[in-house]
A and B are shown apart, each in its own frame.
Chain A
Amino acid sequence: MTQHEAELTSGFRVERGQPYGFFTDTTLCIGCKACEVACKQWNSLPADNFDFLATSYDNTRSLGATTWRHVKFIEQAPDAKTQGGDPRWLFLSDICKHCENAGCLEACPTGAITRTEFGTVVIQQDICNGCNGVSLRQLHAWHDQALRVDLEYRGAPDMGALAVRLRPVTA
């Protein structure tokens, strides 16, 4: 990686010692969803989706107004990409990024989305009129693209030697 790769690729200069995002080490995640449940409990978010989705062990679907953390379960059948006979099961705990320029906060018509004194972006359930749930999900999807987590193999797949890095993505 060159010294200012982000500046070259996305026009944003990354300075040392400044927080920019969350790093999730998928090689350590066991997919227990304790973070997902704790996030809802601590932030008093409602349990609001009791559908069985038949998408691996993921019954959460996506990040959204009442789901600020989501553990993705990615199942990969054995194919040429995995170079072996074993299917892979990857867990990725994704979260609201509390963007410095938060598009959802800017777009919110009721003022339900605010920035707290700790710098976090919070959706106040009692003020939100639910106007834009889909758009919020879309915003989160954009975040996913902006901070795409690349999983690459270093070494033999069966060693589980996964390298994870954040890569800002150009348009």
Chain B
Amino acid sequence: MLQAIHDDQIKGLLLMGQNPAVGGHDASFVRRGLAHLDWLVVRDAFENETAAFWYASPEVQNGELDPRAIGTEVFLMPAALVGEKEGSFTNTHRLVQWHDKAVEPPADARSEPWFLHKLGKRLRELYAADTEPGSMRVRQLLDLTWDYPSKGPPDEPDVEMILREINGVRTADGSLVKDFNDLKDDGSTACGCWIYSGIMPQPGLNLARNRLPDPAGGPGTHLNWGFSWPANRRMLYNRASADPEGRPWSESKRYIWWDAEKSQWSGPDIPDFPRDKSPDYEPDWSKDPRGLDAHSGRAPFIMMADGLSWLYVPTGLLDGPLPTHYEPVESPVHNAVYAQQANPVAKLWERPENRYHLVGDPAYPYVLTTYRLTEHHTGGTMSRSVAWLAETQPEAFVELSPELAKDKGVDNGGWVTLWTARGEVEARALVTPRLRPLQLGGQLVHVVGMPWHFGYMGIAQGDIANTLSAMVGDPNVSIHEAKAFTCNLRAGRKNQA
């Protein structure tokens, strides 16, 4: 997307809680790209580096960007923080927990639903006056149901009405579906996201609000605390806790088992299996079974086509089927395991602004890894502007081993400058025995570390580590390769070269 902005294919950018001028890879390329936009909307709690790129970025300081020549119109909108708005909080362990608004947001700060609801309403007003009312371009906005009731002041849309749509309703009468088993593929139901279906099974009952823990002694699945997608299951594929006959593999770890008397699966969790499907069920192939009817009662992995666990992954992943070792795209050494150096299907975006280093390039002999600190939060907008957090990690720094520091004449606490084909940064040196040179194939390789939170806004400032990183995507989900790439460094500041 950021390349499309750079190449003038995308003209406008709306950012909510994101800070690509710090978090985007090859970040100088990102910042220079922002100047190609017609308009940029940033909604955040503080003015961040992305919103301020046009007057405060290093590219403005070094003359690459001239504020007078930048045509981008920047809108900075104040955002409400989590305690200032109602909504849900979902962790990667699938638990959705509702939170209420504790205090009103200050001044004009508003929630994301407030902003998007108002934006939608204003767009509809604009399009209602369009000269081609029957066109798809106009109808996709005007035919949209966009009528959330408001609670106010400050006129916030009722987010439980959004949760209602996510849960799913019957289109004829608007009644709520109980769970995803009620969903139909004939248009008689509508559901925002099937995995959350069942989170609001009846009016006024928002299961994400549940806050009843299990008592001491168990069972410990805490089914009445929040809502775990899908269907409030706490452990996925839990039928696998029983053997093919449906008996617990281990009595002391019994979790879900087949209760022959009641002819159903039971246990302290919601079974992740058709509740009354017996372990001895076998599909009747003469009847052309569909869906889960085509799975054996001994096949617990119900989301897989064959109901079985896969150790060998022939489909789905682009870089399978078995795990292997590849060197990062940039590495000081050749792959000691295979002739294939790096992932052959890694996403590369080679262009003059995003050049890669060759394997073993003597111009970039050091391995650089970037990471987070506990004191700061990702792009830093929410933490570097908070004085109490800022003083605990007040400035960008580079960690290097005593051996490398001695080699390069870098003093602990002194300045060090790092560079790659993408850019150059300076930061204070933290010399530490925690970083140690590696012996790779008889070659001594130094590793350098740099936290990537810092930027040119807020209280805790410093050069942006991602100015050094390259755009390299993993083949499946395009996660960037910022944990290992190569660089060079010297003692001193940028302008003392």
Please give the residue numbers on chain A whose beta carbons come within 8 Å of chain B beta carbons, in ascending order: 30-34, 36-37, 40-41, 46-54, 56-57, 59-60, 75-78, 87, 89
Decide if B433 is an interface residue (CB 8 Å cutoff).
Answer: yes
Counting chain B CB atoms within 10 Å of each CB, the highest count among A30, A52, A57, A77 belongs to: A52
Partner of B388, one of A47, A78, A89: A47
How far is it, in angstroms, between the C-alpha of A47 and the C-alpha of B387 when the chains are bound?
6
Report the 10 A-B pairs with minimum CB-CB distance, sorted nearest first: A54-B413, A47-B387, A77-B433, A52-B395, A50-B394, A87-B433, A32-B374, A47-B391, A37-B388, A40-B388
Decide if B392 is an interface residue (CB 8 Å cutoff).
Answer: yes
Contact yes or no, A54 B429, CB < 8 A: yes
Contact yes or no, A57 B429, CB < 8 A: no
Decide if B397 is an interface residue (CB 8 Å cutoff).
Answer: yes
Contact yes or no, B434 A87, CB < 8 A: yes
Chain B residues, Cβ within 8 Å of A87: 433-434, 436
How far is it, in angstroms, between the C-alpha of A36 and the C-alpha of B389 when the chains are bound?
9
Contact yes or no, A56 B433, CB < 8 A: no
Q: How far is the CB of A160 from chain B (nearest CB, A)?
A: 16
Q: How far is the CB of B390 from chain A (nearest CB, A)?
A: 7
Contact yes or no, A41 B374, CB < 8 A: no
Which secondary structure dominates chain A's binding surface? Answer: loop
Contact yes or no, B374 A33, CB < 8 A: yes
Contact yes or no, B460 A50, CB < 8 A: yes
Decide if B432 is an interface residue (CB 8 Å cutoff).
Answer: yes
Chain A residues, Cβ within 8 Å of B375: 32-33
Chain B residues, Cβ within 8 Å of A57: 373, 393
- A–B Cβ pairs within 8 angstroms, 7 of them: A33-B392, A41-B388, A46-B387, A47-B390, A50-B390, A52-B395, A76-B433
Q: How far is the CB of A36 from chain B (nearest CB, A)?
A: 7
Contact yes or no, B434 A49, CB < 8 A: no
Counting chain A CB atoms within 10 Å of each CB, the highest count among B374, B428, B430, B433 belongs to: B433
How far is it, in angstroms, between the C-alpha of A30 and the C-alpha of B373 when the chains are bound?
12
User: Interface 1/0s, chain B 385-425, versus A by CB < 8 A?
Assistant: 00111111111010000100000000011000000000000
How far is it, in angstroms, between the C-alpha of A78 and the C-alpha of B436 when the chains are bound?
11
A53 touching B374 in the complex, CB below 8 Å, given contacts A47-B388, A75-B433: no
Tell me how many residue pairs across A and B have CB atoms closer than 8 Å. 62
Chain B residues, Cβ within 8 Å of A31: 374
A50 touching B430 in the complex, CB below 8 Å, given contacts A33-B374, A33-B375: no
Q: How many interface residues does B have (CB within 8 Å)?
A: 26
Chain B residues, Cβ within 8 Å of A36: 392
Decide if B459 is an interface residue (CB 8 Å cutoff).
Answer: yes
Counting chain A CB atoms within 10 Å of each CB, the highest count among B373, B391, B397, B434 belongs to: B391
Chain B residues, Cβ within 8 Å of A37: 388-389, 392
Counting chain B CB atoms within 10 Å of each CB, the highest count among A49, A56, A59, A60 belongs to: A59
Closest Cβ neighbor of B461 among chain A residues: A50
Chain B residues, Cβ within 8 Å of A41: 388
Chain B residues, Cβ within 8 Å of A49: 391
Q: How far is the CB of B454 from chain A (nearest CB, A)?
A: 11
Closest Cβ neighbor of B402 among chain A residues: A77
Closest Cβ neighbor of A37 among chain B residues: B388
Counting chain B CB atoms within 10 Å of each CB, the highest count among A33, A56, A60 belongs to: A33
Q: How far is the CB of A12 from chain B (nearest CB, A)?
A: 35
Closest Cβ neighbor of B373 among chain A residues: A57
User: Interface 1/0s, chain B 114-158, versus A by CB < 8 A?
Assistant: 000000000000000000000000000000000000000000000
Chain A residues, Cβ within 8 Å of B433: 75-78, 87
How far is it, in angstroms, between the C-alpha of A86 and the C-alpha of B334 when the chains are bound?
26
How far is it, in angstroms, between the C-alpha of A109 and the C-alpha of B395 when the chains are bound?
37
Contact yes or no, B395 A75, CB < 8 A: no
Chain B residues, Cβ within 8 Å of A40: 388
How far is it, in angstroms, between the C-alpha of A52 and the C-alpha of B390 when the chains are bound?
11
How far is it, in angstroms, between the C-alpha of A49 and the C-alpha of B460 when the chains are bound?
11
How far is it, in angstroms, between the C-alpha of A49 and the C-alpha of B388 when the chains are bound?
9
Chain A residues, Cβ within 8 Å of B397: 52, 54
Chain A residues, Cβ within 8 Å of B373: 57
Q: How far is the CB of A157 from chain B (nearest CB, A)?
A: 15
Partner of A75, one of B393, B432, B436: B432
Q: How far is the CB of A80 from chain B (nearest CB, A)?
A: 14
Chain B residues, Cβ within 8 Å of A56: 430, 432
Contact yes or no, B413 A52, CB < 8 A: yes
Q: How far is the CB of B335 from chain A (nearest CB, A)?
A: 26
Partner of B394, one of A30, A51, A76, A77: A51
Q: How far is the CB of B121 from chain A (nearest CB, A)?
A: 39
Chain B residues, Cβ within 8 Å of A48: 391
Q: How far is the CB of B272 from chain A (nearest CB, A)?
A: 33
How far is it, in angstroms, between the C-alpha of A60 and the C-alpha of B402 when the chains are bound?
23
Closest Cβ neighbor of A89 among chain B residues: B434
Contact yes or no, A59 B432, CB < 8 A: no
Q: How far is the CB of B12 from chain A (nearest CB, A)?
A: 37
Closest Cβ neighbor of B375 among chain A residues: A33
Q: How far is the CB of A31 from chain B (nearest CB, A)?
A: 7
Chain A residues, Cβ within 8 Å of B436: 87
How far is it, in angstroms, between the C-alpha of A59 and the C-alpha of B375 when the chains are bound?
11
How far is it, in angstroms, between the C-alpha of A76 and the C-alpha of B434 when the chains are bound?
9
How far is it, in angstroms, between the C-alpha of A85 and the C-alpha of B373 when the chains are bound?
25
Q: From residue 348 to 396 of chain B, which have CB atoms closer than 8 A to chain A?
A: 373-375, 387-395
Chain B residues, Cβ within 8 Å of A51: 394
Contact yes or no, B392 A60, CB < 8 A: yes
How far is it, in angstroms, between the C-alpha of A48 and the C-alpha of B388 when the chains are bound?
9
Q: How far is the CB of B361 from chain A (nearest CB, A)?
A: 30
Q: How far is the CB of A44 from chain B (nearest CB, A)?
A: 10
Closest Cβ neighbor of B393 among chain A residues: A59
Chain A residues, Cβ within 8 Å of B428: 52, 54
How far is it, in angstroms, between the C-alpha of A89 and the C-alpha of B413 when the chains are bound?
19
Chain B residues, Cβ within 8 Å of A34: 374
Q: How far is the CB of B421 from chain A (nearest CB, A)?
A: 28
How far is it, in angstroms, between the C-alpha of A83 and the C-alpha of B433 when the chains are bound?
15
Chain B residues, Cβ within 8 Å of A30: 374
How far is it, in angstroms, between the C-alpha of A57 and the C-alpha of B433 when the chains are bound?
13
Closest Cβ neighbor of B435 among chain A residues: A87
